[in-house]
């Protein structure tokens, strides 16, 4: 006897989600939703996606559709983190306005708007709180993470994934965050190195007049070093350290004489960060004349400034934008 079995797979609806990634991307990307997560996806919820070969990110659902992307085959999203939307429809509308007004990407706005704990990524650093309630009930996997953090002090999301032997770990991380057991630490790589400048200051011992007189007598047989000392005293009217290059220029004593005074502990060298930008506006001078097009642009900019505080100056390469700016 033949029996009819309905094709249950034909009734399954395939969903796709457009997501915002916390990255400066020119467009949003679309991911396919596993059928068992269809009922969980919702606009404003956070989901876990793979972007690139190895990177895992927390993304935000921007739109839900049944249409797959045309230009590429959509990857499956890995998990749905939230039980309720983290970002409301009103907030998403505001994000869209910010994207348009400031001419940035939605990922830039997301990265700035959400706290670190809401945008976990594969390289996110997890640390244990200094103080937490030891009586909090933990699952076996949560306890495994906490014990590992007690020994290693910090773990990445990737480390936790390897520790538990599974990819779906974001709900577990969120539970630990909700229980106030762990913190998310954003490690910043300091690529900028401050510009350090050398300053010279006289040893405090020679602030006493008698000691200074003795120093003059000692340096009487080292005229270049004496010149450096006299130049320092001339420049040091306010008792502040003197820039090394300024002292060398004023004294004309040479590097060797100054080094001798430093080696003798008469002078001390201080390294201080200074701005890479010109500190004196008077040093800037305009030595060019705007052409007709630039004059018109400048006039329009000034007119627009009467209406709003922000004006976009746009032009092709070598169009003269820099002079107008």
Cα(231)–Cα(236) distance, rounded to whole angstroms? 8
Mean pLDDT, range 231-243, rounded to an integer: 85
- Whether 154 maps to a domain, the answer reads yes
- What contacts 145, CB < 8 A, 6 or more positions away? 126, 155, 160, 163, 164, 172, 173, 176, 182
Give the number of domains in the chain: 4
- 27 and 82 in a single domain? The answer is yes
Show the CA angle centred on residue 73, arms to residues 69 and 75, nearest 5°.
105
- Whether 1 maps to a domain, the answer reads no
Of 138, 166, 185, the one marking the end of a domain is: 185
User: Which residues are registered as beta bridge partners of 271?
Assistant: 198
pLDDT above 90 as % of the chain: 35
Q: Which helix (H) or strand (E) holds 198?
A: strand 195-202
In order of 198, 243, 257, the CA distances from 194 in angstroms are: 13, 17, 28
Of 90, 117, 144, the one marking the end of a domain is: 117
- Whether 280 maps to a domain, the answer reads no
The per-residue pLDDT for range 2-37, each reduced to its tens digit, is 444 444 444 578 999 999 999 989 899 999 999 999
Domain that holds residue 128: 123-185
Torsion of CA 15, 21, 26, 31, to 10 degrees: -20
The per-residue pLDDT for range 105-116, each reduced to its tens digit, is 999 999 999 887
CATH of the domain at 80: 3.40.1440.60
Cα(114)–Cα(100) distance, rounded to whole angstroms? 19
The per-residue pLDDT for range 274-321, each reduced to its tens digit, is 765 444 444 445 566 788 888 888 888 888 888 888 888 877 776 777
Cα(171)–Cα(216) distance, rounded to whole angstroms? 74
Q: Provide the pLDDT confidence category of residue 88 given band limits of 50, 70 and 90.
A: very high
Cα(45)–Cα(85) distance, rounded to whole angstroms? 4
Place of tokens 């060797």: 256
- Whether 137 maps to a domain, the answer reads yes
- Among 220-229, 260-269, 275-284, 291-300, where is mean pLDDT lowest? 275-284
User: Which residues are registered as beta bridge partners of 268?
Assistant: 201
Of 148, 163, 185, the one marking the end of a domain is: 185
């Amino acid at each position: 006897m033949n029996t009819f079995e309905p094709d249950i797979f034909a009734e399954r609806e395939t969903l796709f989600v457009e997501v915002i990634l916390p990255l400066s991307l020119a467009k949003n990307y679309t991911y396919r939703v596993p059928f068992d997560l269809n009922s969980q996806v919702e606009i404003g919820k956070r989901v876990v996606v793979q972007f690139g070969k190895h990177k895992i990110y927390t993304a935000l659902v921007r739109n839900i559709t049944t249409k797959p992307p045309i230009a590429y085959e959509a990857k499956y999203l890995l998990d749905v983190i939230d039980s309720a939307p983290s970002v409301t429809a009103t907030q998403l509308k505001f994000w869209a306005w910010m994207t348009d007004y400031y001419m940035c990407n939605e990922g830039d706005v997301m990265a700035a708007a959400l706290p670190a704990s809401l945008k976990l990524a594969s390289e996110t650093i997890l640390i244990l709180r200094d103080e937490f309630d030891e009586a909090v009930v933990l699952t076996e996997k949560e306890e495994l993470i906490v014990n590992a953090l007690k020994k290693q002090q910090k773990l990445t999301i990737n480390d936790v994934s390897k520790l538990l032997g599974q990819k779906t770990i974001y709900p577990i991380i969120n539970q630990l965050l909700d229980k106030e057991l762990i913190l998310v630490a954003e490690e910043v790589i300091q690529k900028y190195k401050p510009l350090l400048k050398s300053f010279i200051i006289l040893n405090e011992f020679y602030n006493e007049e008698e000691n200074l007189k003795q120093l003059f007598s000692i340096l009487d047989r080292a005229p270049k070093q004496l010149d450096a000392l006299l130049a320092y005293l001339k420049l040091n009217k306010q008792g502040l350290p003197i820039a090394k290059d300024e002292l060398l220029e004023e004294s004309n004593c040479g590097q060797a004489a100054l080094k001798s005074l430093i080696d003798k502990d008469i002078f001390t060298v201080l390294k201080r960060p200074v701005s890479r930008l010109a500190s004196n506006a008077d040093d800037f001078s305009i030595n060019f004349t705007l052409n007709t097009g630039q004059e018109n642009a400048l006039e329009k900019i000034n007119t627009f400034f009467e209406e709003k505080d922000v004006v976009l100056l746009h032009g092709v390469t070598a169009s003269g934008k820099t002079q107008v700016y």
